[in-house]
Chains A and B, each alone.
Chain A
């Protein structure tokens, strides 16, 4: 299982877990605060392994999220492709940031994604008329350091070096 390139299924597994966390039922008051698990996992892997993770994968994950949440097909895919692209472009700078600064950067990327999605929702006449729409931004930024440490351990255990 553990060839020099690492265990191949480690990365897909983290994405599957992130997707599961995205659909797991939460109580009504907490549902709008659900962090953007899938987007955060995508950002981590695009920054850690920018040669293996591409824009195409981001797009595909977004498509899965669209299907899972009953959204318009392509709505999250567009944002995810953009997130992956920007993360790959910025990986060398952001990787060495302290965790809180990383969290801010991640917040910026997610804000861009949410803005894009909001724009699409607005065009199709489904815009949520509440500030709670931006709640995932806060929860995602708070949880980023923990997710980062967790995924770093996963990477060190199964995927070896940064590439």
Chain B
């Protein structure tokens, strides 16, 4: 009797959770009940990292410091040129009467040492609604795009990696400007590029980056490197594989992006591109 009632409640819950997004509040409440356990599991890992840091010898610290200083100097020198280029770019864009692109603010987050369903590519990070994380927020690290926030709870968030089979990311090939879709495969080392006609110019080694077309990810963040192109005679699309640039299975620090809206990418750029050709998803054969 009780069982039947609870079964009905479960089915109702699943249906509501799957079809609609009304359960966010309830989900967060349950998630907060579990959070202490997850934080507890994460604690020894964090403590271990802290102890290791304390035990680092003076010698290594000095060396690290010197190396980082050099790197900093190097990067600063590069940034000098970058800033000049950015200003030039803004000026040219103004001349062309298109939107000016702003730099996106970042928020650092740490990946918690907590496992989720082994058959889905998800992570837990230690930033939640309190810190300003919201569902759909893009995540990057120093190498490239990592994923996006799936659910944001008060103190932590669940992240969907770009390698999850349910994740598709609108991208373009840097070298040729060819637009395509990077779809996850469930393997953190492998993405599939969809809807590329066999005649297209794409080669192993090409870097692909976000196109900004989905409206969620800002444009021009590097995503992956093409590893294999297979053109099968008789098939309408080539089979193209790519390896994510961000080491999805071993990075620990990530950055949450907060795309600049208003006159930024997310709203203006898609319209500007659509003037030339429709979106990548709908007409794969379009050619820039």
List residues of A whose CB falls within 8 A of some B CB.
16, 19-20, 22-26, 28, 31-32, 34, 54-56, 59, 62-64, 66-75, 77-78, 81-82, 85, 120, 124, 126, 128, 130, 133
Contacts and interface: CB of A to CB of B under 8 A. Distances in A.
Given A32-B118, A128-B119, A74 B17 contact: yes
Given A34-B118, A70-B158, A64 B45 contact: no
B6 A64 contact: no
A81 B45 contact: no
Interface of B: 2-3, 6-7, 9-14, 17-18, 23, 26-27, 30-31, 33-34, 37-38, 40-41, 45, 113-120, 122, 150-151, 158, 166, 249
Contacts of B18: 72, 124
B14 A74 contact: yes
B7 A81 contact: yes
A59 B120 contact: no
A154 B79 CA distance: 62
A87 B120 CA distance: 30
Contacts of B10: 59, 62, 74-75, 77-78, 81
Contact of B41 (A20, A59, A78): A20
B117 A70 contact: yes
Contacts of B116: 23, 68-70
B38 A23 contact: yes
Contact of B33 (A54, A67, A70): A67
A56 B151 CA distance: 26
Contact of B13 (A16, A77, A85, A126): A77
Nearest to A65: B34
A32 B118 CA distance: 6
B2 A70 contact: no
Nearest to A86: B3
Given A19-B34, A24-B41, A25-B45, A133 B114 contact: no
